[in-house]
Chains A and B, each alone.
Chain A
Amino acid sequence: MSEVSLTVNGRRVSASVEDRTLLVHFLREHIGLTGTHVGCDTSQCGACVVHVDGKAMKSCSMLAAQASGSDVVTIEGLTDGGDLHPVQAAFKEHHGLQCGFCTPGMIMTTVDMIARHPEGLDEATVRAELEGNICRCTGYHNIVKAVLAASKTMSKVSKGKTKKAA
């Protein structure tokens, strides 16, 4: 057993878990944050993306013990429960979801993507950066629209500058 102690959405949480416990199971089953989804379970689909120490990571491919000591943000932690986060608002506005299963991962990936591209995003970059997130409803066009719109809202500099895909 591992004593796991981490910050999740600003709250200190500690638990004794089996060493093989995946971070996503820790989040969903030990602390009841079920917004983070398990999709493919093989690190392809990105439904489980959360932020660990400020970076997007796939919580189905990481042990809770590996995240001990880290600062984790899940979809539940993007806002304090009032207004939607600008990325959530853009997904709503542009119908960037159909069944919604992939949406938490898409949004967490998008928030990370926008943070890494303060100069703004273009469509090719967004599509390349979404490589690790799969939408089984295949609603990619509206997801890309939502990401671009959110990037415009959030970017202080939005002069339509483009940057090659990372």
Chain B
Amino acid sequence: MYSVNYHRAASVADAAKLAKGEAKLVSGGMTLIPAMKTRLAAPSDLVDISRIDALKGIKVSGKTVTIGAATTHYEVATSDKLAKACPALSHLAAMIGDPAVRHRGTIGGSIANNDPAADYPSAMLALGATIVTNKRQIAADKFFKGLFETALKDGEIVTAVTFSAPAKAAYEKFRNPASRYAIVGVFVAKGADGARVAVTGAGDDGVFRSRELEAALAKQFDAAALASAKVPAKALMSDMHASADYRAHLIVVMARRAVAAANA
């Protein structure tokens, strides 16, 4: 790891002041620290936001769920309130990494990093979530911009995510047997504005919504509605782990399983 200057931010305002130039925000650091160790990332400064209380915790008020950016995967996975409001998201969080990683990694870090195989971005898209920053609110549909790219500007800090609890939702992941990352992960949700289906791990340009599957589910939110559904392989990743055609096939299979789980 190259030299770096570590700062512990006392507040979001403090963090915003420190997060200038080549500085990077760090919370759990489950992606950033390993990337720095291999010198894939070399920030001048690290601004630690993991101990800012205002960024932590899960609130459920009526149907509105708000999760602080520095809330860990473990806290998301084990929250009783969230298990009632949106068990699909608890389930997703419980499938990230391993127990030690879940104790440190945070939801804000995952979505701000927008790894094309990360789990949370698919949930944010399918739930129609809003990403709250220290400057504005951004709809998930406009937040995820491509591989490791988001709508965040320099110095902008994700403070929370918020969404309306769906009537039904589920997440199904087909893991790479070695890395355990999603080769395909599909989050389905049936909410106020109909069925939404978001796919991670497979898109050439990162997480995306499958309009084909959403159209099929609009008529009937049932696994049977996807019996003959097809997803084009054109914009999908093809690598040593899975071809684009195989990923296209897996998306439909995972979507079917997810809808069945959501209806169960």
Contact = CB atoms under 8 A, between A and B. Distances in A.
Interface stretch (A61-69, A79-87, A141-149): A61-69
B46 A19 contact: yes
Residue among A43, A55, A56 with the highest chain B CB neighbour number at 10 A:
A43
Interface string B150-190: 00000000000000000000000000000010000000000
Interface string A92-129: 00000000000000000100110010000000000001
Interface in B6-48: 6, 8, 26, 29-30, 33-34, 36-38, 46, 48
A62 B3 contact: no
Interface in A45-90: 46, 49, 52, 55-58, 61-63, 65-66, 68
B238 to A, nearest CB: 25
A112 B34 CA distance: 23
Contacts of A166: 77-78, 94, 99
Given A41-B37, A43-B34, A66-B48, A132 B99 contact: yes
Interface string B70-84: 000010011000000
Interface residues of A, number: 31
Interface stretch (B61-69, B100-108, B217-225, B253-261): B100-108
A34 interface: no
Interface residues of B, number: 30
B122 to A, nearest CB: 20
Contacts of B30: 43, 61
B34 A61 contact: yes
A85 B243 CA distance: 49
Contacts of B48: 65-66
Nearest to A68: B8
Given A18-B3, A131-B180, A43 B101 contact: yes
A164 to B, nearest CB: 9
A49 B100 contact: yes
A138 interface: no
Contact of B34 (A42, A52, A57, A132): A42
Interface string A29-50: 0000000000001110010010
A58 B100 contact: yes
A41 B2 CA distance: 16
B110 to A, nearest CB: 15
Given A19-B5, A61-B30, A62-B33, A109 B46 contact: no
Contacts of B100: 46, 49, 56-58, 109, 132
**Top-5 shortest CB links A-B:** A132-B98, A19-B6, A55-B103, A131-B98, A65-B6
11 contacts: A18-B3, A19-B5, A20-B36, A43-B30, A55-B103, A56-B99, A58-B100, A61-B104, A63-B29, A131-B99, A132-B100
Interface of A: 2, 18-20, 22, 41-43, 46, 49, 52, 55-58, 61-63, 65-66, 68, 109, 112-113, 116, 129, 131-133, 165-166
Given A19-B6, A55-B74, 7 more contacts: A20-B1, A46-B98, A49-B100, A52-B103, A65-B8, A66-B29, A132-B97
